[in-house]
């Protein structure tokens, strides 16, 4: 081992010009890495701005086909669909109806842009009248095992409607196994599962809940993870991998880079990170106040996800990046 050090070694040699820096740059982000989350509302006529997420709109369902065409034309290659339901009930049964919002928005998206990778978020909180991610017991707790069979029904409905990937985000124990079995039984053994494997009970989801119309009384701490736990996050991911996940995810993003880096060392699966609504809002409001340079902050934060080990990034900035605005 050479013991070279200053003045033989000068790390600044490779930093002198942009072309040199580009040659030795270890990480890059392209549109192939980005997934754009969108909100589809079945009950509105005109796009509704989300006040807590400047630049984000709820898309009226009737405009979805044209919006998808223009999102695809902008250069977005993958979308994650979130439905804003006006047909909520205690179980979220609209999600497994063949003419329900979930099925309709997937079908419309695939018809409008067949090559756009269409990912269906599989959860119930946008479709239950109580706002929780599953069915409730008489005592008001989320019933894990009864929710599993509903998740499988929802996943099959999504696959049947044409979803390229299903992404369960309910944080029920055993949900990947239940969904894999449900899909396989119905002949969808080739539909991949993107597991929200490490989803924390985070205050960073605040703006999303307003965007998706799923505010709830109480919290999700009995099923989502305690933000203070790192080892448990690795266990969650290892279990989802064993149950058959095709992708693992860490969510939120920026405060959880340690989890991402540790997971990178533990798994060979593609790793996804979700830059969530609160992270988006922080950047947008700080930029609007003149405190941050939005473009540079976005590039740096997405680059940091890749550097920490992410292969794919869910980000509300994806469309603006595709359009060359960021
Ligand atoms: C629903 C869901 C949430 C997010 C994605 N899917 C909210 C939650 O769990 O409360 C958050 C996304 C974001 O904040 O951008 N299960």
pLDDT (0 to 100) of residue 211: 82
pLDDT (0 to 100) of residue 3: 72
Residues 6+ apart with CB under 8 A from 114: none
pLDDT (0 to 100) of residue 152: 98
Query: What's the CA gap between 34 and 1, in Å, rounded?
Result: 40
Q: How far, in Å, are 50, 95, 159, 169, 226 from residue 185 at the CA level?
A: 39, 19, 12, 21, 34
* The one catalytic residue among 199, 262, 284, 306: 199
Gap from CA of 7 to ligand 1 centroid (Å): 51
Ordered by start, the domain boundaries in the chain are 28-322
Residues of the chain with pLDDT under 70: 1-2
Pick the CATH number of 28-322 from 3.40.50.300, 3.40.50.1010, 3.40.50.150, 3.20.20.70: 3.20.20.70
Q: What size, in residues, is the chain? A: 326
b/e code 76-91 from CB counts within 10 Å (16+ = b): bbbbbbbbbbebbeeb
Over the stretch 94-120, which tens digit does the pLDDT of each residue have? 999 999 999 999 999 999 999 999 999
Residues 6+ apart with CB under 8 A from 301: 253, 254, 275, 279, 283
Q: Look at ligand 1, atom 8, and give the residue with the nearest C-alpha.
A: 205
Over the stretch 277-296, which tens digit does the pLDDT of each residue have? 999 999 999 999 999 999 99
3-state secondary structure (DSSP) of residue 275: strand
Please work out whether the CB of residue 201 comes within 6 Å of at least one atom of ligand 1: no
pTM value? 0.97
- Clarify whether 284 is annotated catalytic: no
Instruction: Please give the torsion angle defined by the CA atoms of residues 130, 134, 140 and 145, in that order, rounded to the nearest 10 degrees.
Output: 170
Q: How far, in Å, are 54, 197, 259, 299, 321 from residue 109 at the CA level?
A: 24, 26, 33, 28, 21
Q: Look at ligand 1, atom 14, and give the residue with the nearest C-alpha.
A: 205
pLDDT (0 to 100) of residue 270: 98
Please work out whether the CB of residue 29 comes within 6 Å of at least one atom of ligand 1: no
Asked if omega into 7 is within 30° of 0 (cis), the reply is yes
């Amino acid at each position: 081992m050479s013991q070279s050090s200053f003045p033989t070694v000068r790390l600044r040699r490779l930093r002198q010009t942009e072309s040199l820096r580009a040659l030795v740059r270890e990480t890059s982000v392209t549109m192939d890495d980005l997934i754009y989350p969108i909100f589809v509302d079945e009950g509105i006529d005109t796009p509704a701005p989300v006040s807590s997420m400047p630049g984000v709109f709820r898309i009226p369902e009737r405009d979805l086909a044209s919006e998808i065409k223009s999102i695809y034309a902008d250069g977005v290659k993958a979308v994650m669909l979130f439905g804003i339901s006006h047909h909520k009930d205690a179980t979220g049964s609209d999600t497994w109806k063949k003419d329900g919002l979930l099925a309709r928005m997937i079908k419309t998206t695939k018809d409008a842009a067949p090559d756009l990778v269409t990912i269906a978020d599989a959860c119930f909180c946008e479709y239950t009248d109580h706002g929780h991610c599953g069915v409730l017991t008489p005592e008001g707790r989320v019933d894990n095992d009864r929710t599993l069979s509903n998740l499988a029904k929802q996943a099959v409905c999504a696959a049947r409607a044409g979803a390229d990937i299903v992404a369960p985000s309910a944080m029920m124990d055993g949900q990947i196994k239940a969904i894999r079995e449900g899909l396989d039984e119905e002949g969808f053994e080739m539909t991949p599962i993107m597991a929200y494997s490490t989803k924390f009970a985070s205050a960073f989801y605040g703006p999303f809940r307003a965007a998706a119309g799923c505010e709830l009384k109480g919290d999700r701490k009995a099923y989502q993870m305690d933000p203070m736990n790192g080892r448990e996050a690795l266990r969650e991911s290892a279990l989802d991998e064993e149950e058959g996940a095709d992708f693992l995810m860490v969510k939120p993003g920026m405060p959880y880079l340690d989890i991402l880096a540790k997971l990178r060392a533990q798994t060979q699966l593609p790793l996804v990170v979700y830059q969530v609504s609160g992270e988006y809002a922080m950047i947008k409001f700080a930029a609007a106040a003149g405190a941050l340079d939005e473009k540079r902050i976005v590039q740096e934060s997405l680059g940091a996800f890749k550097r920490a080990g992410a292969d794919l990034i869910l980000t509300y900035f994806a469309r603006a990046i595709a359009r060359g605005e960021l």
